[in-house]
């Protein structure tokens, strides 16, 4: 198996300024730059569809557990797996038994096969139900052993697309496809062009759509020069095709993940779709890419009549990037307000990287017990298995103008649950309580973390109270306990006050059942009451002799007419700073209908939208002066006057500590499947190099480009606990010419232990070398050499 996109992940974020999100922008119509009229990709949501999973007994020609297991001839298990997320299996008619432990609910751990037509039909039905207009069927080199299975999957996808009214197109991935220049043409003319006769095959500007992914990437798996790539693009256009380019993130500037000299190739495409997976996992990172990469990308495309189809992603679930949907919505919002001609969602069914939108296990009850695989509620927010499909549907409506452009996610994590956005009036607000037991303070109940909690001391009754900051119409309280706690009933009374001293009862004493089967969550609804201070009094608890609450969420009903803005935030000060960040704090604004959040402004640019009274601005340049101010917003989107303006200069940058091996050329004695040597320098500890089995010694090496003084190596394996402890016998060698190597550090046994991150540091004597080779003579955990990262440093 060639190294695929899922192995080519590096975290490179450009620039320092974040996107400006002013109130006037939120109300303005989105820009439209129509290089092409609406079709099957312009104005549409396209989703990447791998369709590459199989299992023994499904009839797939490739055989075995294709893409489920590292060793596809052994069933997937915690120690033999390629996935980081678990699918929701409840709608598949056939599941295949694995060697994983049973699910948390005791059911067997089974997985689907993409080769079953029912699986493909289910996926395309989900696409139909959730506004996924077009599927990009991934097609890797079909001239190897996976070719017959890929051919069969195209038949199945055509059938499902026609059945459920979806469009599809062929997306060629040229990774490690050394003869692609001729074989792409052969494959298209002899096999894939026949699919364009299907009414479901995607067309744009009246032409069948083809995507070519991988030209110009600065990676050994895609070594092609510009000339043959340009020839291929022009050949497909001569066949009457509308050609999309799946290009590097930095295609326009020819740096980082893009080779220089490819601009003519990129500009030959009808549509440009830059890759984004692995480039960032934060909201600030998305905003930085919007300002520094996407905006100039769109301008370049507009100037040349090229359609722009940026990649949007739900985030890596296994790395905690999803922020219960906020990451995905921010990415969708940024690309729609950009004026992009279409959106490409990566990916639909990519359980290997954890960035799938297809239905996924909701809770620990639906993943194999003890494996640490993250379900959708991994950050404590209950999410239905179809949540990211529903976000995709809302994002599609926003793209098509059927939903107003909004930075506030409109999709609730659970159907029928409370809506998203700044509606939890208690979040981060001041709290008090009649008592607390040890460290379990009242503030824990409004910190957004359902695992922390307030617990009273002393005999019941005991009370908890939150100050909303201003009198506000309130009609609902949502209460939580930590998800893993056993059932208990607490008798609670809800009271409210406008002055903090005289309270009236808004919901009389009632026994509320907190049950882990329903997320240990209860909702208290009552007639809308105008209050500032909300108090909860617990008079009984069947589970513990104290009052206990992990989260108190307060939601408003009808509010007063808009018009009066909040007061200006006060006393803006610097609480900390570094070479690249400034931490700010200010005193709270007050408002008659309740402050919902703040905008932190760097000059005239909005760089943060916190709900509390502090924020850290990141991505700044060292030793550079900046000015900051803050404004407040209320529930009616009224904007306060600004705070005082604060001038501050960032610190001088510390001496760099640079991984000299990052993204450098590599070589190897050999590898299996997709586990090539490029993985050891991609900055991603979850991808790895694995040598051929049972053939020690094996080696992997990095070319630093010139003789360089080095003093330290850091060797890593994937940090997951599934990679159990193992010893590898390692020799470090060096060379200045790439042919004659000397020993830098003699053979030594290194222990890789997940308890310490599966990372080992090797100190080196002062050594000047260009080529650094790690020779592995033995491995107690697997009959091959294995490394996920080879980091090289000039400092001890």
- Min mean pLDDT across 307-311, 366-370, 753-757 is at 753-757
pLDDT band with cut points at 50, 70 and 90 for residue 10: very low
Asked if 530 and 548 count as a contact pair (C-beta separation under 8 A), the reply is no
Mean pLDDT over the full length of the chain = 88
Q: 703-739 pLDDT, tens per residue?
A: 998 888 898 999 999 988 888 899 999 999 999 898 8
The more confident residue out of 638 and 246 is 246
- Examine the pLDDT at 557 and tell me if it is beyond 70: no
**pLDDT-wise least confident of 66-70, 173-177, 290-294, 528-532:** 528-532
What pLDDT shows up at residue 656?
Answer: 56
Report, as an integer, the average pLDDT of 742-760: 92
Tell which residue, 687, 685, 667, has the closest CA to residue 760.
685
Burial class (CB in 10 A: 0-12, 13-18, 19+), 762: middle
Query: What's the N-to-C CA distance of the chain in angstroms?
Result: 38
Mean pLDDT of 526-555: 91
Cis ω before 671 (30° cut-off from 0)? no
- Give the pLDDT mean for 430-438: 94
pLDDT of residue 13: 33
> 134-139 and 45-49: which strand pairing?
parallel
Determine the 3-state secondary structure of 223 from DSSP.
coil
**pLDDT given at position 101:** 95
Strand, helix or coil at 156?
A: helix
Cβ pair 66, 232 in contact under 8 A: no
CA dist., res. 232 & res. 185, Å (int): 8
pLDDT tens-digit series, residues 582-596: 888 988 888 776 777
- Nearest CA to 756 out of 728, 729, 719 is that of 719
Beta strand pairing call for 167-173 and 207-213: parallel
The percent of residues in the chain predicted with pLDDT above 70, rounded, is: 92
Among residues 65, 50, 63, the alpha carbon closest in space to that of 99 is found at 65
Average pLDDT over residues 435-463: 91
Check: CB of residue 333 under 8 Å from CB of residue 398. yes
Buried b or exposed e, range 271-286, using 16+ CB within 10 angstroms: bbbbbbbbbbbbbbbb
Structure-model confidence comparison of residues 420 and 470, the more confident one = 470
Range with the poorest average pLDDT among 309-323, 630-644, 670-684, 761-775: 630-644
Q: What are 473-482's pLDDT values in tens digits? A: 788 898 999 9
Query: For 429-440, what is the mean pLDDT?
Result: 94
Angstrom distance (rounded) from CA 784 to CA 700? 12
Question: What is the separation of C-alpha 233 from the centre of its chain, rounded to a whole number of angstroms?
Answer: 31
Residue 493 has pLDDT above 60, yes or no: yes
49 pLDDT higher than 50: yes
**Minimal CA–CA distance to 346: which of 309, 394, 399?**
309
Please report the pLDDT score of residue 564 as a whole number.
66
Tell me the CB-side half-sphere exposure of residue 596, using CA atoms within 13 A: 19
Please say if the pLDDT value at position 20 is more than 60.
Answer: no
| Residue 559's pLDDT band (cuts 50, 70, 90) | very low
- The strand pairing partners of 440, in sequence order, are 437
- Is a pLDDT exceeding 80 seen at residue 543? yes
Tens digits of residue pLDDT in 176-199: 999 999 999 999 999 999 999 999
Say yes or no to pLDDT of 742 above 90. Answer: yes
C-beta of residue 616 within 8 angstroms of C-beta of residue 584: yes
CB atoms within 10 A of CB 388: 27
Residue of higher predicted confidence among 654 and 162: 162
What per-residue confidence (pLDDT) applies to 14? 32
SS3 of 352-396: the string is CCCCCCCCECCCHHHCECCCCCCCCCCCCCCCCCCHHHHHHHHHH
Give the list of residues 6+ apart from residue 117 with CB closer than 8 angstroms, or none.
156, 159, 160
* 449 vs 480: CA distance, rounded Å: 10
| Predicted local confidence at residue 344, as pLDDT | 98
- The answer to whether the beta carbons of residues 14 and 292 sit under 8 Å apart is yes
Q: What is the pLDDT of residue 621?
A: 79
Q: What is the mean pLDDT of residues 256-268?
A: 96
d(CA 605, CA 782): 53
Residue 637: its pLDDT value, please? 61
Cα–Cα distance for residue pair 442/453, rounded to 1 Å: 7
Q: How confident is the model at residue 605 (pLDDT cuts 50, 70, 90)?
A: low
Name the range with the highest mean pLDDT among 109-118, 374-383, 516-525: 109-118
State if pTM tops 0.85: no
Predicted confidence (pLDDT) per residue in 285-302, tens digit: 999 999 999 999 999 999
Of 309-313, 535-539, 710-714, minimum mean pLDDT range: 710-714
Fill in the DSSP letter of residue 677.
G
pLDDT digits (tens, 9 = 90+) for 665-695: 999 999 998 899 999 999 999 999 999 999 9
CB 18 within 8 A of CB 289: no
Q: What is the mean pLDDT of residues 37-61?
A: 96
745 and 663 in contact (C-beta within 8 Å)? Answer: no
Does position 418 have pLDDT exceeding 70, yes or no?
no
Number of H helices, E strands in the chain: 10, 35
Q: What is the pLDDT of residue 536?
A: 97
Residue 358 has pLDDT above 50, yes or no: yes
């Amino acid at each position: 198996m060639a190294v695929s996109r899922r192995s080519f992940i590096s975290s490179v974020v450009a620039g320092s300024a974040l996107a400006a999100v002013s109130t006037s922008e939120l109300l303005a119509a989105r820009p439209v730059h129509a290089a092409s009229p609406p079709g099957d990709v312009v104005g549409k949501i396209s989703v990447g569809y791998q369709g590459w999973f199989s299992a023994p007994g499904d009839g797939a020609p490739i055989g075995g557990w294709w893409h489920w297991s590292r060793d596809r001839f052994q069933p997937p298990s915690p120690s033999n797996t390629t996935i980081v997320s678990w699918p929701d299996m409840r709608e598949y008619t056939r599941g295949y038994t694995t060697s994983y432990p049973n699910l948390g609910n005791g059911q067997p751990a089974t997985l689907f096969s993409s080769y079953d037509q029912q699986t493909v039909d289910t996926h395309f039905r989900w696409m139909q139900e959730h506004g996924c207009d077009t599927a990009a069927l991934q097609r890797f080199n079909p001239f190897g052993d996976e070719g017959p299975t890929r051919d069969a999957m195209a038949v199945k996808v055509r059938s499902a697309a026609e059945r459920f009214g979806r469009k599809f197109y062929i997306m060629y991935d040229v990774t490690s496809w050394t003869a692609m220049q001729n074989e792409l043409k052969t494959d298209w003319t002899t096999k894939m062009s026949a699919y364009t006769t299907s009414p479901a095959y995607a067309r744009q500007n009246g032409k069948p759509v083809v995507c070519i992914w991988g030209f110009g990437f600065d990676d050994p798996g895609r070594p092609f020069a510009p000339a043959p790539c340009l020839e291929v693009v022009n050949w497909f256009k001569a066949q009457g095709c509308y050609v999309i380019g799946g290009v590097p993130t930095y295609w326009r500037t020819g740096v980082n993940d893009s080779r220089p000299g490819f601009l003519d190739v990129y500009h030959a495409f009808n549509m440009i779709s830059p890759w984004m997976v692995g480039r960032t996992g934060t909201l600030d990172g998305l905003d930085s890419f919007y300002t520094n990469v996407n905006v100039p990308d769109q301008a370049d495309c507009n100037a040349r009549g090229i359609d722009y189809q940026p990649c949007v992603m739900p985030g890596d679930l296994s790395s905690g990037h999803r922020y219960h949907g906020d990451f995905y919505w921010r990415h969708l919002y940024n690309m729609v307000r950009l004026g992009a001609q279409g959106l490409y969602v990566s990916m639909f069914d990519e359980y290997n990287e954890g960035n799938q939108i297809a239905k996924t296990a909701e809770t620990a009850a639906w993943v194999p017990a003890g494996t640490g695989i993250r379900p959708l509620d991994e950050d404590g927010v209950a999410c239905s298995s179809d949540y990211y499909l529903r976000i995709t549907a809302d994002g599609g409506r926003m793209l098509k103008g059927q939903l107003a452009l909004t930075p506030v996610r409109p999709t609730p994590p659970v159907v029928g649950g409370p809506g998203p956005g700044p509606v939890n009036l208690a979040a981060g607000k001041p709290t008090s309580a009649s008592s607390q037991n040890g460290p379990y303070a009242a503030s824990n109940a409004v910190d957004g973390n359902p695992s922390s909690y307030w617990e009273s001391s002393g005999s019941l009754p005991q009370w908890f109270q939150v100050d909303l900051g201003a009198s506000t119409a309130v009609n609902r309280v949502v209460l939580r306990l930590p998800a893993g706690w056993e059932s208990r009933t607490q008798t609670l009374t809800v009271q409210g006050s406008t002055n903090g001293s005289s309270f009236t009862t808004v919901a009389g004493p009632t026994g509320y059942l907190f049950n882990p089967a329903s997320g240990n969550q209860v909702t208290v609804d009552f007639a809308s009451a105008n209050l500032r201070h909300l108090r909860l009094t617990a008079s009984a608890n069947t589970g513990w002799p104290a009052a206990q609450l992990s989260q108190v969420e307060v939601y408003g009903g009808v509010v007063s007419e808009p018009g009066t803005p909040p007061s200006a935030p006060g006393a803006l000060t610097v609480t900390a700073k570094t070479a690249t960040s400034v931490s700010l704090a200010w005193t709270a604004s007050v408002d008659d209908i309740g402050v919902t959040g703040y905008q932190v402004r760097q000059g005239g640019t909005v760089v943060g939208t916190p709900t509390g009274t502090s924020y850290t601005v990141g991505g700044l340049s060292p030793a550079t002066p900046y000015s900051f101010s803050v404004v407040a917003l209320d529930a009616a989107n009224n904007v306060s006057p600004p705070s005082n303006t604060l001038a501050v200069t960032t610190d001088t940058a510390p001496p760099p500590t640079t991984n000299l091996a990052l993204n450098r050329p590599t070589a190897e004695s050999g590898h299996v499947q997709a586990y090539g040597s490029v993985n050891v320098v991609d900055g991603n500890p979850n991808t790895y190099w694995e040598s051929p089995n049972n053939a020690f010694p094996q080696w992997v090496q990095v070319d630093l480009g010139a003789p360089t003084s080095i003093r330290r190596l850091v060797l890593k394996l994937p940090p997951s606990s599934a990679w159990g402890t193992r010893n590898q016998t390692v020799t470090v060698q060096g060379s200045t010419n790439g042919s004659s190597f000397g020993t830098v550090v003699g053979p030594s046994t290194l222990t890789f232990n997940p308890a310490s991150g599966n990372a080992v540091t090797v100190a080196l004597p002062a050594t000047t070398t260009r080529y650094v080779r790690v020779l592995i003579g033995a491995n107690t955990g697997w009959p091959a050499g294995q490394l996920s990262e080879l980091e090289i440093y000039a400092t001890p």
